[in-house]
Structure 1
Amino acid sequence: MKKTNLKLWLPFLLSIMMVIGMVIGYKLRKDTIGPDSFIANPHNTAIGEVVRIIDKMYVKGTDKDSLEMKAINALLAQLDPFSVYISAQQLKEINDKVRGNYIGIGIGFEVIQDTVAITDIVKGSPAEKAGIKIGDQFLTFNDTIKMSGPNRSDLGVVNILEKVVGKKFKVLVKRQQKQFTTTLNKAMIPIFSIDAAYMLDAKTGYVKINQFSETTYREFMLALEKLKKAGMTRLMIDLRGNSGGVLTAATEIANEFLADQQLIVYTEGDKVGKTEYRCKRDGLYKDLRLTVLVDETSASASEVLAGALQDWDRATIIGRRTFGKGLVQDQFNLTNGGAMRLTVAKYFTPLGRNIQKPYDKNTAEYQRELTKRFHSGQTVLGDTSSPTGKAYKTPNGNTVYGGGGVTPDILVAYDTTKLPPSALDLFLKGTLTRFTFQYYMHNRPSLDSLTNSTALFDYPLPKDQIWEQLGQFALADSIHIDSIQSVAKENVLEKFRAFLAKDMFGPQGYFEINNHYDNIVGKGEQIMNQLK
């Protein structure tokens, strides 16, 4: 990637991430409608006829399935950005995320120097039970399937793992200079929604929710129970980067902070009517002081939760204006194993706000909206508190707006000095994460004496030496870090320490370190301390 203005690249990448993430966000329904409900014979349509004629008569060979998919995608693109076709393979991956589990062996990995290196192991997983350790390398499966070699990619490794036949398979493992063979069993592996749940200080609990799945509510309540025992009297919920998921997971969490029968959200559509989601009882934490952190990548179910708590004056929303996805999709299964997610309604917050931003022009224009926020200065310069739609009054008299995401009560602008274009490639290409893991492997004897992230935060890392080594490592990715200025350099080194904590202590370790440097978390702590 050429070095260019951050305002051009970062929002574009965020848009891609958001569209991929939000395709899983829909109103979960048990009576998902099958393909035969509306069309008895799918070929008795003009589209079906055209595809069959092309397949039979076109001057050269065609792929009928590919033509059908392109026709479907072109048709759905005329409706809205979130009515989409999902292939059978994509549907499996999406359903795994919705359920909160998948069939596998319970590892995280990076392909480093064309070899699969284990970077994370799920507790209680087959990998842990088989004695696999962080830093191990997988060389072969079942003696014949090579896991190392030129141009090996993360996706390629995932595909190999999925295609291994049977519940058991052999793996040749390299640990330091020794090799050994072990047997791994496939099992149900949880996909956790909670990345971190710990005490920021003696009173403030912090919970990071990365998605809303069928298991999120249970995870969340277990986390709050643990924090309450640790002395929590106020809570910070971090929804940044959470592009949504299952609506009921968000409404169940909202219920715990509201009173019986309070409206959480309602959906309304011409064909499906109106459905209200209300609290079923007084929430267990309806009097707990709250802050909620959001940004431009918080969407869908995240906006439902943040919007409900803001409308009822239950939480101070801090960060940057959310994405603005207020459309409801239902899933319709198709005969080829894929599915269609079709927009059938809109979300409305308790005050009647529709948080959906405009999408009248076309899907491409809609996806460029984040880029426009950066160009206009809304995200960088800090003017996202300006009205984005119709004004509404909360019970306490606060003004909130609809029609373009949830605008935070307290704005924290994006600081481009911490991530200029000269440093961006270190993150986009995965250079910093791979370097950090390699550094950990080479320095385990000293680093493994540190028992928690607090010890790592206080540990005097040799910054100059690390920077020099990173510079050499980055050259392989055609990245030159010599031009990175002091503020950005310090930010990169802070991220290095946070990534190191992730390698050593898991996702929570990352946030326990990174939150020390996070200005939105810092603002949240400041607001918490001001609340009576």
Structure 2
Amino acid sequence: MNNKKVQVWLPLLFSLTMIAGMYLGYKMRDNMPGKSFFYTEKRRPVQEIMDLIQNKYVDDVKIDALADTAITAMLNKLDPHSVFIPAEKLDGINEDLAGKFYGIGVEFNIYNDTINVINVLKDGPSFKAGMQTGDKFLKVEDSTVAGNKIDGDRIRKLLRGDKGSKVDIVFLRGTEQKKVTVTRDAIPLYSLDASYMIGNGVGYIKLNKFSQQTYHEFMDALLELKKQGLQKLILDLRDNGGGILDEAVEIADEFLPGDKLITYTEGKHVAKKEYRCRREGQFEKGALVVLANEGTASASEVLIGALQDWDRATVIGRRSFGKGLVQEQFELSDNSALRLTIARYYTPVGRSIQRSYTNGEKAYYDEISNRFHDGETQSADSVKNDKSKVYKTPGGKTVYGGGGITPDYFVALDTSGFSISTAKLYAKNVPANFAYQFYLQNTASLKNYKSPADFIKNFAFTEDNWKSFTTTAAKDSISIDTVSVKEKADIINRIKSSIARQVWRTEGMVEVLNTDDNTIKKAIEVLQ
């Protein structure tokens, strides 16, 4: 009898137990991570509108492109450095930060609708396959790449690929057609443009960004210069737009003693984090000059700010960009990414050098171009320091926050040799194109120069060479017969630097350009 009663009530007991469990689960949902299972978050109007457009709009719509536009519009309400990175652009950005990509190891330019190899990476994939400077691409796999208006982005996509993958290339050398199979491999994206001894114990290092390889490249260069008698150093960070914060911190540690504070970061959802020196540096006592200009930003400003605040370096040049925000990159489900500002960084004395962006992104970036128009790049008296944010270094020097880093010595932008004619020359890349052809015609004699310094001392750009160049410029409808003596000297120096680049790549170019650089001259003067 009792068993029959249990059987009658058992379904009801199960039902009550299940209902109780559901009720408790519902009540506990707010304490559960992710509020999952029974919880359904209210849909936002943004998603509702996207669904309505997709399902009701009169015409076909590329909904993904529309969503990207909506995301960008949202981020424009935040700050200029919070950005959405579409999936198709993410690989290139990540490669730049990683300091490498996978490809065939050539530099190229497009002349007369033909891809010309202007440099082959020594010991790289193309070098091993036998390709040379001056080769002209005809086909990559099944794609014809000559005479069909190909652009740089398309040829890069054809040449890059996974490590170990192969690509067939048909090219022209002189009048002979050749074919090679190149195996793709890692190609470095160097952040160090040049390092060499100028003389009298003065060394020079130029960094163009801060990637995952920058500190390693910097240390190799610094230790090599020390072997050559380095006593004083010029660190050139002009037009270095920044990159990975930790790399700049590691380099700062090589210049600063003890456990000195290098920078600290702090945000609404990010706890304060200090970055301090952790070891004995390789150049803590030698005289140090750092070069900066309006293109010097972010991680570069972290490094300069630490050296200036501790009275460790003399800063020469022009006011830096003024970016004091820290971004973190978040990967999204469709392989795109969000680079979101999560904190501000501060220099050791507590200054944020971030410029105001309250008037919107356009006004924010226009401020840089306005420096060229309102006289700031020509006169130290026109530099717009934020006088409401004044700080003192331990040595008593006045420094400013709120608008980049102001140099200790101002050097005006040299515009004396820059007319409309020369502007057209550089816009059409005429000096570099001429230098490439000059290199092809004089390869044997140019290889007799042992180094960029030897080239600077002994190479002469003759009057016949100049006449040949004016003829080349005329083919592009540019007349330079009446340029000033100063302009002519500047153009010749650009051509010589481009020739040096063909022989010694970026290091040769920088070393030649530096011979006529007023900021370099001022740095040497200050050091001596």
Normalised by the size of structure 1, how large is the TM-score? Answer: 0.88
Q: Which residue of 2 aligns with 1:126?
A: 125
Q: Which residue of 1 aligns with 2:158?
A: 160
Deviations 1:179-222 (CA, angstroms, capped at 9, x unpaired): 22222100111111111111011301110101101111011111
Q: Which residue of 1 aligns with 2:19?
A: none
Contact 2:264 2:347 in 1 (8 A): yes
Deviations 1:475-513 (CA, angstroms, capped at 9, x unpaired): 454433345322122111111111110011111111121
- In the alignment, the residues of structure 2 paired with residue 105 and residue 37 of structure 1 have an alpha-carbon distance, to the nearest angstrom, of 46
- In the alignment, the residues of structure 1 paired with residue 165 and residue 518 of structure 2 have an alpha-carbon distance, to the nearest angstrom, of 46
**Residue 77 in structure 1 maps to residue 76 in structure 2:** yes
1:272 to partner: Cα distance: 1.1
User: Pick from 234, 249, 252: which aligns with 2:250?
Assistant: 252
Work out the percentage of aligned pairs sharing the same amino acid.
Answer: 40
- In the alignment, the residues of structure 2 paired with residue 378 and residue 424 of structure 1 have an alpha-carbon distance, to the nearest angstrom, of 21
**Residue 47 in structure 1 maps to residue 46 in structure 2:** yes
- In the alignment, the residues of structure 1 paired with residue 265 and residue 442 of structure 2 have an alpha-carbon distance, to the nearest angstrom, of 54
Contact 1:99 1:215 in 2 (8 A): yes
User: Pick from 147, 150, 159: which aligns with 1:149?
Assistant: 147
- In the alignment, the residues of structure 1 paired with residue 187 and residue 459 of structure 2 have an alpha-carbon distance, to the nearest angstrom, of 37
Deviations 1:394-419 (CA, angstroms, capped at 9, x unpaired): 11111111110110001001011122
- In the alignment, the residues of structure 1 paired with residue 159 and residue 125 of structure 2 have an alpha-carbon distance, to the nearest angstrom, of 14
Structure 1 residue matching 2:501: 3-state secondary structure? helix
The 5-angstrom pairing of residues 14-413 of structure 1 reads: 44-142=43-141, 144-162=142-160, 167-383=165-381, 385=383, 387-389=385-387, 390-413=389-412
- In the alignment, the residues of structure 1 paired with residue 449 and residue 104 of structure 2 have an alpha-carbon distance, to the nearest angstrom, of 28
Which amino acid in structure 1 is aligned with residue 82 of structure 2?
S
Over 3 Å counting, the alpha-carbon distance change for 1:470 and 1:164 in structure 2 is farther
Q: Which has the higher contact order (CA 8 A, sep 6+)?
A: 1
1:331 to partner: Cα distance: 1.3
- In the alignment, the residues of structure 1 paired with residue 162 and residue 268 of structure 2 have an alpha-carbon distance, to the nearest angstrom, of 47
Q: Which residue of 2 aligns with 1:457?
A: 456
- In the alignment, the residues of structure 2 paired with residue 479 and residue 54 of structure 1 have an alpha-carbon distance, to the nearest angstrom, of 52
Contact 1:385 1:408 in 2 (8 A): no
1:79 to partner: Cα distance: 0.8
Structure 2 residue matching 1:304: 3-state secondary structure? helix
- In the alignment, the residues of structure 1 paired with residue 356 and residue 81 of structure 2 have an alpha-carbon distance, to the nearest angstrom, of 13
Question: How many positions carry a matched residue from both structures?
Answer: 493
Deviations 1:340-384 (CA, angstroms, capped at 9, x unpaired): 111111111001111111111010111101121112100123435
Q: Which residue of 2 aligns with 1:487?
A: 486
Structure 1 residue matching 2:416: 3-state secondary structure? helix
Contact 1:139 1:173 in 2 (8 A): yes
Deviations 1:422-441 (CA, angstroms, capped at 9, x unpaired): 31222223222122212221
1:282 to partner: Cα distance: 2.8
Q: Which residue of 1 aligns with 2:496?
A: 497
Contact 2:102 2:162 in 1 (8 A): no
Contact 2:320 2:406 in 1 (8 A): yes
Which amino acid in structure 1 is aligned with residue 336 of structure 2?
G
Deviations 1:120-179 (CA, angstroms, capped at 9, x unpaired): 22232111212222222222223x222211422222211222369971122223222322
Which amino acid in structure 2 is aligned with residue 406 of structure 1?
I
1:117 to partner: Cα distance: 1.2
> Which moved further from structure 2: 364-373 or 278-287?
278-287
Contact 2:102 2:161 in 1 (8 A): no
Alignment gaps of 5+ in structure 2:
1-32
> Which moved further from structure 2: 148-157 or 87-96?
148-157
- In the alignment, the residues of structure 2 paired with residue 41 and residue 153 of structure 1 have an alpha-carbon distance, to the nearest angstrom, of 49
1:61 to partner: Cα distance: 1.4
Structure 1 or 2, whichever has the larger Rg, is 2
Contact 2:164 2:185 in 1 (8 A): no
- In the alignment, the residues of structure 1 paired with residue 482 and residue 334 of structure 2 have an alpha-carbon distance, to the nearest angstrom, of 52
- In the alignment, the residues of structure 2 paired with residue 378 and residue 38 of structure 1 have an alpha-carbon distance, to the nearest angstrom, of 55
Which amino acid in structure 2 is aligned with residue 212 of structure 1?
F
Which amino acid in structure 2 is aligned with residue 405 of structure 1?
G
- In the alignment, the residues of structure 2 paired with residue 187 and residue 38 of structure 1 have an alpha-carbon distance, to the nearest angstrom, of 46
Structure 2 residue matching 1:413: 3-state secondary structure? coil
Which amino acid in structure 2 is aligned with residue 211 of structure 1?
K
Q: Which residue of 1 aligns with 2:7?
A: none
1:43 to partner: Cα distance: 10
Structure 2 residue matching 1:510: 3-state secondary structure? helix
CA RMSD of aligned residues (A): 2.2
**Residue 437 in structure 1 maps to residue 457 in structure 2:** no
1:444 to partner: Cα distance: 2.3
> Which moved further from structure 2: 412-421 or 437-446?
437-446
1:94 to partner: Cα distance: 0.9
Contact 1:463 1:493 in 2 (8 A): no
